[in-house]
Chains A and B, each alone.
Chain A
C-alpha cells in the first residue's frame, strides 16, 4: 500500500534531525543513503535504503504516495544535492522538495533546479546568531512561538464564514480584546500576503478563502477557528 511519506536523501546528522522533526506528520520515513555515505551509528528508528544518482526515480511511485509525500534533499555536497533535486523534479512535478544548501549561491541553483524550499545552512545559522545578539527578546519569543516551546502558537486560519466579520476591514477589528489573538497577516486567495495594518491591506475586506496568520494561545485560536472556519494545516 502506498504511504504518505517523508523521503529524506542523505544519511547524516541533518537528515536524522529532519526525520526526528517530521516523523509525527508522516506514516513513513525513509532515509536514502548515497552509496559512498557512511555514518558511524546506523539509524534504528527509520528505514534506510540505498540510492544511486542514476536510479530511475519513477519506481518510487509504486511504493510511496508521491502526491502527499515530501522530499528532503540533505546531501552534504552541494553539487550532488543540486543534481539530485533536478532529477527528482524531472520525475515528480508537483511534489514538495526541500533542499539544504551550504550557501546562498547553491541556494539559488537549487531554486533553479526546482526545489520548493531551500534552507541555506550557513546563512540561516548566521542570521539566527546575529538576531540573537541584535534582538535577543524578539528572537527568543519568535523562536518559542515558531518551534512551539511555549503555549503561544502561530497558526494559519482558513476563513470559511466571512459573514462573521460583517464586512469589516481587518484593521477595524479589535482582535486583541474580542478574540484574544493578534492577526498579523492576511493571505488572499491570489497568495499575496499583507500585513493587516499596511496601507494596501486596508482596501481589502476579509473574504472566504483568505488565510489569516494569527498568534495567540491555543484555546483562543481554537475558539476563533470555530467562528470562522477550520484550522488550516
Chain B
C-alpha cells in the first residue's frame, strides 16, 4: 500500500512538466556553467561571502551593528542553507531511482522492496553529502548556530565556498588533481622526514637546558618550519647532533620544494592545451552567430580572412599543423574532426541559431562529402557551401546535401571567357565587387521602417544621391527585376541593388531610414 503510494508520487514527479522544469532551472542555476544566468547567481553568492567575512573581521575588535549581525547569522545562513538543500535536491533524482528499481523488480516478478530503494537513495545522497564541496557548504552554514561561539570559526568556511563560484579555482584544482599520485608520494615523503626529524631533534635537544626545543610539539614546529625552507629562526638547534639533523632536513626541504614546484608546472603544461580548448569552446558557445569553416587550406585561409572583417569565423580541422596555421593567422581554431558528430557535440553549439553557414573548404571532395553528410545527419536546414575539386564528384556533393557548390576550374573557365569577350565589362564588374574601389554594389533590404514612407520605386530619390538602382530582388517571386517600372511596389524583405560611391550609398541608406523616422 505504502509502496504503491510512493511509486505513484515518483511517477507523478517524473512525468510532471512543472516539476521537471523547476528542477532543471535550479540545476542550470547551480551547476551548469554554460547557463546564462549562473554568473549572476555566482556573483550574488560571492558578494554574500565577502559581506560575511567582512563582518567577521570587523567583529574581532569592534562592535558591529545588531542588524548586520542578524543579517550575517540568520539571513546569509538561511540563504546558504537553501542553496545547500537545492544542491542536494538536484544532485540526483529520487523518483528515477524508485522507478528504475520498480521496473527491475517487476521484470523479475517481485514486489518493490522499499527498504532497499531507500537504502540506495540514502547511499546516493550520502555520496553527494560527503563530497568535499558539500562538506564546505555545510560547514559554511554552521555559524547559524551562533550561540555556540566556537562554531564561529566555521565562518571561514564561507571563504572556501568561493572555490565553487570562481571557475579558475576549479580549473586549478582539476589540474592539480591530475597529479594526485605524485602529490601523495611527495606528501608521504615530507611526512616521514618531518616525523623522523621531529623525533630526532627532540631526542637531541630536549635535555639540553640551553635549547629552546622543550616539547615534541616544539620539535614538530621546528621541523615543519625548516623543511618548508621558511626557517623563522625563533627555534634553532644548538647541539652538534641537532645541527646535523637540521642540515638533512634543509636538504630534504629543498628537494620537496623543487619537486612540488615542478609537479605544479608539469601538471599545468600537460593540461594547458586542454584548458585552452575548454576556454575556446566556452567562448564559442557564447557567440550569437558565426561561420563554421571545416578544413583550413589555402582557399579556406583567404575566405576566413575576408569574412572575419565583419563576422566571427570558427575553424575546425583534424590536422594539428593546419590548426596551428589558422591560430597563427589569428583565427579561433579547434583540432576537431569536422567529419565526426562528436566534434559538434563537444562544441555545444546550436547550429540552427548560431551558425550562419558551414563552409566545407577542404581541397578534397571525399572529405567535403563526408563532412556534409555528418552535418546533415543532425541538421537538415543549415546552409552548407562546399568546394568541388573534380567535376565528376559534383552530384555526390549535391546528394550529400550541399546547398552551394563552388568549382574553381569552372570559375576560371568562365573568367577566361569573359575576359577575352568583354574585357572592359569584366573589369567593371570586378571593380564593383572588389572592396578596394570606391564604387561598390550593395544590397539594401527593405525594412518595415522604410515601408512607412516609401511604397513605390519612384518614391526613392536615389538619383539625387547619385546612386544607381540596378534593380530589385522581389522576395515573393524569388526573382531579380532589372530596371523595375516606376510604380513597382516595395515589400518587406525585398532587396534593392544599388551601385554608386560607397559613401553615397551609405548616405542614401541613412536617408531611407531617417525619412521614415521623421
Contact among A119, A156, A195 for B412, CB-based, below 8 A: A119
Interface locus among B244-252, B340-348, B466-474 = B466-474
- Of B55-63, B113-121, B225-233, B416-424, the stretch lying at the interface with chain A is B416-424
* Contact of B421 with A100 in the complex, beta carbons under 8 Å: no
B476-510 CB contact bits vs A (8 Å, 1 = yes)? 00001011000000000001010111001000000
Contact among A136, A146, A185, A187 for B418, CB-based, below 8 A:
A146
Q: Which residue of A lies closest to B404 (CB)?
A: A132
- Closest residue of A by beta carbon distance from B310: A134
Q: How far is the CB of B299 from chain A (nearest CB, A)?
A: 5
Quick check: B310 and A129 within 8 Å, CB to CB?
no
Q: Given A132-B385, A147-B418, A152-B482, are A126 and B470 also a contact pair (CB < 8 Å)?
A: no
Contact A141 B480 (CB under 8 A): yes
Name B65-103 residues within 8 Å CB distance of A.
none
Q: Mark A101-138, 1 if CB is under 8 A from B, else 0.
A: 01100000000000001010111111111111111111
Within 8 A of A (CB), among B435-482: 438-439, 441-443, 466-468, 470-471, 473, 480, 482
Neighbouring A residues of B268 by C-beta, 8 Å = none
Query: B406 contacts the other chain (Cβ, under 8 Å)?
Result: yes
Report the minimum CB–CB distance from B139 to chain A (whole Å): 55
Do B483 and A18 touch (CB < 8 A)? Answer: no
* Contact, CB under 8 Å: B306 / A137: no
Closest B residue by C-beta to A181? B483
Report the minimum CB–CB distance from B445 to chain A (whole Å).
9
> In this complex, what residue of A is CB-closest to B297?
A122
Q: From residue 292 to 332 of chain B, which have CB atoms closer than 8 A to chain A?
A: 298-299, 301-303, 305-307, 310
Contact assessment for B480 and A14 in the assembled complex, using a CB-CB cutoff below 8 Å = no
Please tell me if the beta carbons of B414 and A137 are within 8 angstroms of each other in the complex.
no
| Any A CB within 8 A of the CB of B141 | no
Closest residue of chain A to B408 (Cβ to Cβ) is A125
Q: Would you give the shortest CB distance from A222 to chain B, in whole angstroms?
A: 15
Contact partner of B413 among A18, A125, A181, CB < 8 A?
A18
Task: Decide: B483 and A182 in contact? CB cutoff 8 A.
Answer: yes
Is the CB–CB distance between A145 and B429 below 8 Å? yes
Contact of B468 among A14, A21, A117, A182 (CB under 8 A): A182
B425 interface hit (Cβ, 8 Å): yes
Beta-carbon nearest neighbor of B306 in chain A: A130
Q: Are A155 and B422 in contact (CB under 8 A)?
A: yes
Q: Quick check: B413 and A121 within 8 Å, CB to CB?
A: no
In the complex, whether A48 has a CB less than 8 A from a CB of chain B is no
A143 vs B418: C-alpha distance when bound (angstroms): 11
**Complex alpha-carbon distance, A215 and B302, angstroms:** 30
Q: Does B426 reach chain A (CB closer than 8 Å)?
A: yes
A72 within 8 A of partner (CB): yes
User: Is the Cβ of B302 less than 8 Å from the Cβ of A128?
Assistant: no
- CB within 8 Å for A21 and B442 given contacts A184-B499, A213-B424: no
CB distance from B485 to the nearest CB of A (A): 10
Taking CB atoms, residues of chain B closer than 8 Å to A98 are: 416, 419-420
Q: Is the beta-carbon distance between A133 and B307 smaller than 8 angstroms?
A: yes
Looking at the assembled complex, report how far the CB atom of A151 sits from the nearest CB atom of chain B, in whole angstroms. 9
* B428 interfacial contact with A, CB 8 Å: yes
With A133-B357, A198-B439, A216-B482 in contact, is A25–B420 under 8 Å at CB? yes
| Contact B416 A119, beta carbon cutoff 8 Å | yes
| Cβ contact within 8 Å between A96 and B443 | no
Instruction: Say yes or no for B334: interface residue by CB 8 A criterion.
Output: no
A38 to B415, CA, bound (A): 25
Q: With A100-B412, A103-B298 known to touch, is A141 a contact of B433 (CB < 8 Å)?
A: no
Residues on the B chain within 8 Å of A180, using CB: 483
Of all chain B residues, the one with the shortest Cβ separation from A144 is: B480
Is the CB–CB distance between A18 and B390 below 8 Å?
no
Are B412 and A127 interface neighbours, CB within 8 A?
no
Find B409's partner among A17, A72, A133, A198 (CB 8 Å cutoff): A17
Would you give the shortest CB distance from A131 to chain B, in whole angstroms?
6
Contacts of B424 in A (CB 8 A): 156, 185, 187, 193, 211, 213, 232
Over the window 8-20 of chain A, the binary record of Cβ atoms lying under 8 Å from chain B Cβ atoms (1 yes, 0 no) is 0000011011101
Q: Which of A12-60 contact B (CB under 8 A)?
A: 13-14, 16-18, 20-22, 25
Q: Which residues from chain B contact A193 at a C-beta distance below 8 Å?
A: 424, 427-428, 431
A197 within 8 A of B: yes
Bound-state CA distance A180–B482 (Å) is 9
CB-based contact A217/B433 at 8 Å? no
Q: Do B422 and A197 have beta carbons less than 8 Å apart?
A: no
- If A119-B415, A129-B299, A133-B291 touch, whether A96 touches B409 (CB-CB below 8 Å) is no
Which residue in A25, A132, A135, A184 is a CB contact (below 8 Å) of B428? A184
Interface residue B155 (Cβ < 8 Å from any Cβ of A): no
Across the interface, which residues of B come within 8 angstroms of A187, CB to CB?
A: 424
Given contacts A125-B406, A142-B429, contact A197 B413 (CB under 8 A): no
- The reply to whether B497 and A138 form a contact with Cβ atoms under 8 Å apart is yes
Q: Does A93 contact B (CB under 8 A)?
A: no
> Which 6 A-B pairs give the minimum distances between C-beta atoms?
A126-B302, A17-B413, A21-B417, A130-B306, A197-B466, A21-B413
| 18 further contact pairs, Cβ within 8 A, besides A17-B412, A20-B413, A146-B426 | A22-B420, A100-B412, A119-B412, A119-B415, A122-B299, A125-B299, A125-B411, A130-B303, A132-B385, A133-B307, A135-B441, A138-B497, A141-B473, A142-B429, A142-B432, A147-B418, A198-B439, A213-B424
Offer 14 A-B interface pairs, CB within 8 angstroms, sorted by A: A72-B416, A126-B306, A129-B303, A131-B433, A132-B406, A133-B291, A134-B307, A138-B443, A181-B483, A182-B482, A195-B439, A198-B439, A213-B425, A213-B428
